[in-house]
């Protein structure tokens, strides 16, 4: 069985280290706006919830892509965007019922969690184990 990211909102302190680590790993800079994981706050900060692509078994994003730019990584099971094939049409963003496929205005391509190739940086840096990969 493939490993998956597990989120525990009751442990999240909204430190945003996951967002910073993700943007650094994937974009080479500390910019939470370019992160593939987001921390949502509810009840004026009383509850924080880390959230990213759940790597759905029935991947609507993958099936919706007209250029077959989203593929399944055989090792991790992650649905990954192949930049060379992505034309930035955003059909996959509309197909995702969870809103976790996003458009990167800098590249004109879509971005989504790819589990960092099997070593998710968000889980690695989370100080409270609100995000774990197992």
Contacts by residues 98-104 (CB-CB < 8 Å, ≥ 24 positions apart): 98/51, 98/53, 98/54, 98/56, 100/36, 100/51, 100/52, 100/53, 100/54, 101/53, 101/61, 102/36, 104/34
Q: What is the pLDDT of residue 58?
A: 93
Q: Read off the pTM.
A: 0.93
Q: Cα separation of 69 and 45, whole Å? A: 37
Q: What are the extents of the domains in the chain?
A: 1-52+119-134, 54-112
Contact between 69 and 86 (Cβ < 8 Å): yes
**Which architecture does CATH list for 54-112?**
2-Layer Sandwich (3.30)
Residue 67 clears pLDDT 90, i.e. is over it: yes
Establish whether domains 1-52+119-134 and 54-112 are of one fold.
yes
What average pLDDT does the segment 34-39 reach? 96
Domain 1-52+119-134: CATH class, spelled out: alpha beta
Q: Cα separation of 103 and 124, whole Å? A: 25
At residue 109, φ and ψ (nearest 5 deg) are -125, 170
Q: Cα separation of 111 and 101, whole Å? A: 6
Which residues have a Cβ under 8 Å from the Cβ of 85 and sit 6 or more positions away?
67, 68, 69
Q: What is the pLDDT of residue 54?
A: 94
Residue 2 clears pLDDT 90, i.e. is over it: no
User: Bridge-partner residues for 72, per DSSP?
Assistant: 79
* 2-6, 30-34, 84-88: which is most confident: 84-88
Q: What is the pLDDT of residue 120?
A: 98
Q: What is the pLDDT of residue 1?
A: 65
Residue 44 clears pLDDT 90, i.e. is over it: no
Per-residue pLDDT tens over the stretch 77-98: 999 999 999 999 999 999 999 9
């Amino acid at each position: 069985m493939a490993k998956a990211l597990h989120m525990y909102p009751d442990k999240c302190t909204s430190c945003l280290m996951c967002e910073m680590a993700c943007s650094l790993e994937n974009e080479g800079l500390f910019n939470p706006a370019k992160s593939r994981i987001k921390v949502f706050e509810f009840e004026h900060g009383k509850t924080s919830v880390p959230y990213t692509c759940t790597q759905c078994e029935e991947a609507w994003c993958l099936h919706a892509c007209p250029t077959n730019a989203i593929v399944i990584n055989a090792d991790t099971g992650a649905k990954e965007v192949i930049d060379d094939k992505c034309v930035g049409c955003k059909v996959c963003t509309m197909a995702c019922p969870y809103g976790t496929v996003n458009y990167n205005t800098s590249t004109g391509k879509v971005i989504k969690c790819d589990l960092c190739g099997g070593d998710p940086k968000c889980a690695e840096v989370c100080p409270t184990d609100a995000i774990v990969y197992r």
